[in-house]
Amino acid sequence: MKTELDVKDKRILHEIDLNARASNAEIAKRTGVSKQVAGLRIKKLLGSKTILGFFAVIDNAKLGFTIHKSFVRLQNIDGNTEQRMLEFLKNHPAIVWIASCDGRYDLAFGTLATNMAELDRTLSEIDALFGENVSERHIATILHGEYFDREYLLENLKKEAISKESAKAAFGAIPEPAPLDETDWKILLELGKNARATLVEIAKTIEVSPDTVAVRIKNIEKQGVIKRYNFVPNESIYPYLHYKVLVGLKNSGEERERALIGFCKTHPNIVYIVKALGPWDFEIDIEIESPEQLRKVMMELKTKFSDIIKDYSSLSIYQVHKYNFCPGMPNKR
């Protein structure tokens, strides 16, 4: 059963979407509720599993990595085999995102790699265990991506105008490693597990002072390693459907591609876009209320960009199993 969100829930979720590390007091001030109500609402959203947790959006290029997305059609598989495969992927230190989907593919996952040989090793590990269960696999390398705020949460509500340009979190694929030491990495690991972990909680886990954690986080953010803090919705009960649209282009050119990205930035239901090198050119993530609304969005997209859209296919994302951009330290991969 889908969770019902009232106006206060939506406002609080929107603030968490903009900055999941914001304190309850900060969220309360911006949403017009008390600090206690903000805390209780967030706790309820977690307790009901409407949201699964909070994560740091990390520019993996700043860590020396590129992300490669694998889209897989499964075969010869039962519930037990699928569960073993998911558990293996969830526990693999190079896998940062996993989702089950309906459509052309059954499973999608993102893999970190410093080079193609490293990617090949990871995929070979998976094939050695589950190769007979894969009938088709396509790989797309992320060249550039951007997250946008979930503006749809404030639709039809009295609100301040929020610029998607200022709220975006962009990341790239050209490795430019930032000078991080072991303590920085430990902090990233904790923020990957829970972006709302307090300074005291992180400090206790990695055995440094809270002041040290605060200074290190600010420095990591300043270097552009952390772009944003966000929440992970539980697609099975979150009251908005999640679709990933894979778009192939023709004769596009930089100007028309910028126009396409600009359209996505200003659309309230488009929350993520990736330029990819692979079987398609862009991934566009859309969160909407119904399949009919998806058709409306796609009609608008096809009408505005009929000159460059060659083809597209949509995947319904019905469960995210892992969302952690920093699942392991380099020397432990």
DSSP code string of 7-32 = HHHHHHHHHHHH-TT--HHHHHHHHT
pLDDT on residue 157: 55
Residue environment code for 274-297, b if the CB has 16+ CB neighbours within 10 A, otherwise e? bbbebebbbbbbbbbeeeebbeeb
Domain membership of residue 125 (yes or no) is: no
Q: Is the pLDDT of residue 328 over 80?
A: no
pTM for the model stands at: 0.90
Average pLDDT for 248-253? 91
Tokens standing for 199?
């300074």
Number of domains into which the chain is organized: 1
Average pLDDT for 245-259? 93
pLDDT on residue 326: 82
Residue environment code for 163-176, b if the CB has 16+ CB neighbours within 10 A, otherwise e? ebeebbbebbbeee
Domain membership of residue 306 (yes or no) is: yes
pLDDT on residue 165: 41
Within 57-105, residue ranges assigned H as helices are: 79-91
Average pLDDT for 241-253? 94
Report percent pLDDT > 90 for the chain: 82
Range of the domain at 290: 239-318
pLDDT on residue 175: 63
Domain membership of residue 11 (yes or no) is: no
CATH number at residue 277: 3.30.70.920
Condensed to tens digits (0 to 9), the pLDDT of residues 214-226 reads 999 999 999 999 9
Domain membership of residue 269 (yes or no) is: yes
pLDDT on residue 166: 41
pLDDT on residue 325: 85
Domain membership of residue 224 (yes or no) is: no
Report percent pLDDT > 70 for the chain: 92
For residue 56, CA distances in Å to 129, 290, 299 come to 31, 28, 33
Which has more pLDDT, 130 or 178? Answer: 130
Condensed to tens digits (0 to 9), the pLDDT of residues 114-167 reads 999 999 999 999 999 999 999 999 999 999 899 999 999 997 554 444 444 444
pLDDT on residue 1: 80
Q: Is the pLDDT of residue 60 over 70?
A: yes
pLDDT on residue 158: 45
Condensed to tens digits (0 to 9), the pLDDT of residues 3-50 reads 899 999 999 999 999 999 999 999 999 999 999 999 999 999 999 999
pLDDT on residue 172: 66
User: Cβ of 4: how many Cβ atoms within 10 Å?
Assistant: 8
- 140 closest CA partner among 327, 279, 1, 323: 279
Condensed to tens digits (0 to 9), the pLDDT of residues 254-284 reads 999 999 999 999 999 999 999 999 999 999 9
Least confident of 148-152, 171-175, 224-228, 241-245: 171-175
Q: What mean pLDDT is reported for the chain?
A: 91
Measured distance CA(194)–CA(202) in Å, rounded:
10
Least confident of 53-67, 96-110, 130-144: 53-67
Q: Is the pLDDT of residue 174 over 90?
A: no
Domain membership of residue 284 (yes or no) is: yes
pLDDT on residue 161: 40
Domain membership of residue 199 (yes or no) is: no
Domain membership of residue 141 (yes or no) is: no
31 near 15, Cβ under 8 Å? yes
Displacement of CA 63 from its chain's centroid (Å)? 17
